[in-house]
Chains A and B, each alone.
Chain A
Amino acid sequence: MNHRFLLFSGLAMLLSFVSCTRSEYDPDGVNREMTLFGEEIFVPIGQVGPITVKDLLSSNKSIASLLESLMKEESNGTFYIESEDQVFAVNAFRELMDIPDPTQPYHWDIGSQSCSIASTAALLRMFNIGFMNQRLSLYATNPITAPLTLNTDIWVRCKDNSYQETYSKEYKMEDFSLRSSYSAISLFKLDIPAEVIDLVASVEMNDLTLDLPANAKDQVRPSDDAKFSFYTSFTSNLALSEKFSLSQAFPISKLNVPLGKFKLHKCYLAFDLENTLPLDVTIKSIKLRDEKGNEIKDVVFSSDVKIIGGKPGAATVTPVVLEVEALTGTIPDIHEVVLDLKFEYSKTAGLVPLSSAMSLSMKTASVKLYGGITLFGK
């Protein structure tokens, strides 16, 4: 009996041993909060951007509406504007009807004529956008089939925003022969020096005279468009003047980054900012906004980072590290990031024509999170 008792007691002990549970590992009420990547996690983002010069200028609605109608792009990406402006034009038949003796040569004293150049583009000067590599050409049309003799004194004038003359050029054209031609005849071409960024304000033709042959009326080409005309053709690149300064907010909207449900304390956003804009760029601030558009004030960024200006082929690369830190708790949900940037003329880059190749790009951007990402379990 004792043997049996010992035997079954031993078996019972063994069975209980096998099935033993340890109360400290009770699966009920497991705290499933987990912090992943507790020391650091490196998340590459790659290249972001570019913010092109066009993006930049278009961020101002007034400039954008002007540029939309004026600005064109050369095959090499350089931006330019062009315009044709009329100095003087009259219908040949109507004008020659009034000659007292049509059978005799006629000395026609037209007097002074002038025109403004690219008057709409002139508005760009208000935004400190200047003009580089300006080229002005003056053309004339001869509506009769015989050559004419032209005399005039031509003035080309550039003026600044205060209408002070900053550059002028005089052409004296004496006994210039306007040959007989169906097409326009070039009177002169003028390349304004590159350092002159004030727009050509006007072209004046003073003491303009034309000497017509006898029976000129009978030699007018049979065309409804037979005119005595003088007009300018103008092209110019655009440049940003020394006074150029633009503070612009670049909102990055609809992000809906749900960071609030994680416990994030600190992260570093690192990137190389490659700048081919001829502008010094200052990151004044970076603001985060919540779903309702309110600024999230519990997060601080380092700010006032300055990036020196560059140009195509000579980019400046500035390493930038921005620190994001939640003052209390965790970095909340982010729905919008607003980059408050200031762009100013760069003495380093100097005066260069604007082109589509100019931009501001974030290269090799990455995020490093420290302290882990906490997932709150139930």
Chain B
Amino acid sequence: MKKFLLQIALFLSAGTLLNAQVYQQGFFLKDYRPVYRINPALFPDSDFIGGFELTRNKVQNYGVSTFYYPTDGGLVTGLHESISADQFLSRIPNTVARNGEIALNLFSYGIRRGDAYHSFEIGFRLPTTMTAPKGIFELLKRGTTDARYDLSDLGVKAQGYIELNYGYGRKLSDIVSIGGRAKLLIAEYGLSYRFTQFDVEKSDAGYTIFSKAEIDLPSSFYKAEGYPDQKISLSDIHAHHKFPLPTGAGAAFDLGVAVTPNEYLTLSAAILDLGGIAWHYGNAAASSGYVYFDGVGPLSYDDLNKDGLTKRATEIAKKFLDGVYPKLRYDKWRVEALPFTANLGIRYTIPSCDKVRVGAIAQYINYKYSPYWEARLGADYNPFKWLDLTASFGRGSFGFLYSFGVSVHVSRFQIYYGLETSTAGTQKNTTSPIDPVHRTWSLGLTYDL
């Protein structure tokens, strides 16, 4: 059992790249029940319940090809001397970012009442972000050729929260529908370590490092004991509650409108995840300071040996750590906005062949680091009553992208699976994308009532 849980945990943590991402390809799927996730003004033909739907996505503006180069002698890293600095650094974005999310929808319920459609959902979301500034790679590749390096925005973050939402969509007329979803977000736990400032300035005599970092560990399981401004270490963090009590709360809203001029054509526009979470960082710390490094000296003549130099290096490391050591923070509340998504869509059922739908959809995700956009053309083919197939292609922030999806009916059950991805390719024997990638896959099961 432990092994199984461990595998689940590893799987979740390895995936860690979602950000309020929905399965866009569902817009084309004829029988995609939770279509209101794309636009709350769109709703399915039938009532349904669903459960254990998993959506996972990642958006990363780098890939294997960002750091590795094929040569006649095999694959080399960008730090190999055969790769020029300009060649290597031109491929690296200003902030190397990896955003991701795993969204597990535990329960869905959709019901039509007259011209209105109501939906309820309970789910869990685990968004993660990892960022590294370009300056780090510049420093590693070129060395200290510049007088100043900005290495801020180095950090990792993972946050877990429960989402309870209620959606309401209504036909205002035969043509126009509107909808909205209200989401109650219950913060559960998180981990964040981010340098908001990390400047390295070089002078003739040495380096000055200015550093500001924020460390957050919102969790009811553990509590950091101490007083504000006290230096903290792992030994100051003790077990607290045994149950996952909330560590914050928030709200978000989806708004949408759909226009259906005739029975074949649908136009859709929506904005999703407008809102945020007020996190209570019961275990928050910050560090701020600067360290001046002008060498390992003063060294006496007797210090000039390995032991003496090692001792001095250790003293300097301690001095640096003292300068940037995290301290408990007074301010323990912080509101963080969710990255919102805006999408536009159009779909058209071919009158002469109602088994085929064509259309287009575009979306923009407002990630703080590396915002993402895409637009694509798609089609849906419903050859049999029990089978629905869809595919699309287009362009996005990372070049060409495509997707496909399938939905299968068995009695009243419907299982669907879909994958959207840019043409990043995958490194052999690994799951690492070769190029920058946006990839979403979704798997779900619903039951028509």
Contacts and interface: CB of A to CB of B under 8 A. Distances in A.
Contact of A46 (B296, B304, B429): B296
Nearest to B77: A34
A14 B81 contact: no
B304 A37 contact: no
Interface residues of B, number: 57
B81 A35 contact: yes
B75 A51 contact: no
A126 B416 CA distance: 101
Contacts, number: 159
B402 A29 contact: no
A128 B64 CA distance: 71
Nearest to A45: B295
Interface string B56-93: 00000000110010110111110111000100000000
Interface string A18-58: 11111111111111111111111111111111110001000
Given A33-B80, A44-B294, A45-B296, 12 more contacts: A4-B383, A21-B427, A25-B425, A27-B428, A31-B77, A39-B145, A40-B144, A41-B143, A44-B295, A47-B297, A252-B304, A366-B205
Contacts of B139: 37
B72 to A, nearest CB: 11
B396 to A, nearest CB: 16
A255 B144 contact: no
A42 B295 contact: no
Given A7-B383, A25-B64, A25-B428, A46 B80 contact: no
B28 interface: no
Interface residues of A, number: 55
B351 interface: no
Interface of A: 3-4, 7, 10-11, 14, 17-51, 55, 250, 252-257, 364-366, 369, 372, 374
Contact of B141 (A4, A38, A253): A38
A20 B73 CA distance: 23
B173 interface: no
A24 B75 contact: yes
Contacts of A49: 299-301
Given A30-B68, A46-B296, A35 B428 contact: no
Interface of B: 64-65, 68, 70-71, 73-77, 79-81, 85, 139-145, 202, 204-207, 293-301, 304-307, 309, 381, 383, 389, 391, 402, 404, 406, 419, 421, 423, 425-430, 434
Nearest to A250: B301
A257 B309 CA distance: 11
- Residue with the highest number of chain A CB atoms closer than 10 Å, among B64, B306, B381, B391: B306
Contact of A32 (B65, B77, B143, B402): B77
A33 B76 contact: yes
B295 A27 contact: no
Contact of A365 (B75, B85, B295): B295
A18 B421 contact: yes
Contact of A35 (B79, B204, B306): B79
A40 to B, nearest CB: 5
B80 A3 contact: no
